[in-house]
Amino acid sequence: MAEKKISHPTYKIVSDEEADAFGWVFTDAKEHMQRIGFKFPELKSHELRANITYTGLCHSDVHIVTEEWGPAPFPLVPGHEICGEVTALGSDVKDFKVGDRVGFGVLRETCGQCEPCKANQENLCNGKVEQKYTYDKKYWGGYATALQQPAAFFYKIPENLAIEKVPPLFCAGITLYNPIRDYCKPGMEVAVLGIGGLGHLGVMYAKAWGCRVTGVTSSDDKKDFIKKLGADDVFVSTDENLEKYKGKFHVVLNTISGSQKLTNLVWLTKPLGTFVQLGLPPTEKPPVFDPAPLVHCKINYVGSETGSREVIKEMLEFSSKHNIVSMCEQFEFDDFKKAYDVLKEGKPKFRCVVDCTKAYPKNAQKK
């Protein structure tokens, strides 16, 4: 298919020779994807720019690009699992220096004034901001060789963590760490449902938290692997096993997005326990759910996604202490389309990460 001519309100589309960065842009919901060169606007005093070293692909990118969660603001460069190296600093940025290893996640701005922000739940911010999420109408994300965003939402990456395996921590990692932090205590029985890109991190975090962890999988051949992750027990999610383990767990972490067995999964939770929904299905395919376990057993049914900046920093420290990183399948920048296709088909080896280090344009130097 012929490449489309692209324009954008923030970034100037230019030749490779003029480019500050290269990006993979989606032009429509049919997932037409093309590589472009672009220039950033002038660096603002509160911003920093980083060359992206490794960037992760998340299935939420697919939901957004295909408009399964609503209309998408094309042309769009997705990506919110980003690691890089600082190349330029705005005049007011004091907490970073050129050369720092940094990460960037789901959020780029919050209001700081609404009730969730004041309660250290800024990921739930409902105030007025220019653009809350990393990529949307005005700004692009990490499917690129560089990123320019507010410095306040960058994070220093602990030196002992393998940088090529860190990007998913800024989405998948915090998605699991946050509810474990909120609802789990050492010694609790915790089930992780679905041992894929999210669930494998859930097993490692919950075990490091001091819980007794059970992995629940649809694949019998994953059992030995899940045990090696640290799980104390593993079972396959047959109807017989779901009945056998009914009412066993203080906390259930459900990474499965659209299971039609949702009611049976909730019944795994102990009375007064907590069932945490983490997977989010397409809006037109919600799972069927009977509230009976909530009524009869006073089970708390909650959801969770990312976390506040304070909790993300804590997650990185915890990951460093316990040497927890994601298991990843790695691709080169020129193979971004292949990485996206692997992601969309649901067949990555846990998470897809792209190495951007060999793809920088000549204008990507440190300043």
What is the CATH classification number for the domain harbouring 292? 3.40.50.720
The confidence score (pLDDT) of residue 4 equals 80
Residue 264: count of CB within 10 angstroms of its CB: 16
Question: β-pairing, 33-39 with 21-26?
Answer: antiparallel
Residue 280 banded pLDDT, cuts 50, 70, 90: confident
Residue 81, in any domain of the structure:
yes
Tokens of 20: 């500050």
DSSP annotation of 148? E
Rounded to an integer, what distance in angstroms lies between the CA atom of residue 43 and that of residue 161? 29
At residue 104, the pLDDT reads 98
Residue 317 domain flag: no
On whether residue 276 sits in a domain, the answer given is yes
Structure confidence by residue, pLDDT tens digits, 190-199: 999 999 999 9
> Average of pLDDT values for 170-198?
97
Q: Residue 144 sits in a domain of what CATH number?
A: 3.90.180.10
Least confident interval from 213-217, 272-276, 342-346: 342-346
Same domain, 226 and 144: no
d(CA 309, CA 178): 11
Kindly state whether residues 163 and 235 are assigned to the same domain: no
Range(s) of the domain holding residue 291: 172-303
Whole-number average pLDDT of the chain: 94
Both 17 and 165 in one domain: the answer is yes
Q: pLDDT tens, 121-145? A: 999 999 999 999 999 999 999 999 9
Same domain, 24 and 123: yes
Rounded to whole angstroms, how far apart are CA atoms 268 and 214?
11
Q: Dihedrals φ, ψ of 175, to 5°?
A: -60, -35
- Asked if 273 and 299 touch (Cβ cutoff 8 Å), the reply is yes
**Token match 């999988």: residue?**
217
The bridge status of strand 81-89 relative to strand 101-104 is antiparallel
User: In angstroms, rounded to a whole number, what is the distance separating the alpha carbons of residues 3 and 119?
Assistant: 47
Is residue 319 domain-resident? no
Q: Is residue 297 in some structural domain?
A: yes
Please check whether residues 137 and 230 belong to one and the same domain. Answer: no
pTM of the model: 0.95
Residues 109 and 248 grouped into a single domain: no
The verdict on 298 and 336 lying in the same domain is no
Same-domain status, 139 and 88 = yes
Of 167, 38, 29, the C-alpha closest to 102 is 167
Is it the case that residue 90 has pLDDT exceeding 50? yes
Handedness of CA 260, 263, 268, 272 (dihedral sign): positive
Q: How far apart are CA 284 and CA 288, in angstroms?
A: 12
3-state secondary structure of 31: coil
| pLDDT band at residue 223 under the 50/70/90 scheme | very high
Q: Choose among 306, 35, 349: nearest CA to 174.
A: 306
- Give the count of domains, the chain: 2
Question: With bands split at pLDDT 50, 70 and 90, how would you rate the model's confidence at 367?
Answer: very low
Question: Closest Cα to residue 5, out of 30, 32, 31, 29?
Answer: 32
Spatial separation of the C-alpha atoms in residues 219 and 238, rounded to whole Å: 10
From the DSSP assignment, how many helices (H) and strands (E) are in the chain? 10, 16
Is 18 exposed, middle or buried (CB count within 10 Å of its CB: 0-12, 13-18, 19+)? middle
Chain length of the chain: 367
Q: Give the model's pLDDT for residue 102.
A: 98
Confidence (pLDDT) at 1: 53
The Cα–Cα gap between 269 and 189 comes to 10
Name the H helices within the chain.
Answer: 59-65, 115-118, 172-183, 199-208, 223-229, 239-244, 262-266, 292-297, 309-322, 336-344
Q: Which residues have CB under 8 Å from 224's CB, separation 6+? A: none
Domain membership flag for residue 290 = yes
pLDDT at 286: 75
Cβ neighbours of residue 171 under 8 Å, at least 6 residues apart?
56, 58, 60, 80, 81, 105, 106, 306
Q: Tell me: do 23 and 57 sit in the same domain.
A: yes
Residues 288 and 179 in one domain: yes
> Sorting pLDDT into bands at 50, 70 and 90, what band is 248?
very high
* Same-domain check for residues 299 and 334: no
Indicate whether 239 and 276 sit together in one domain. Answer: yes
Which residues neighbour 95 within 8 Å (Cβ) at sequence distance 6 or greater? 151
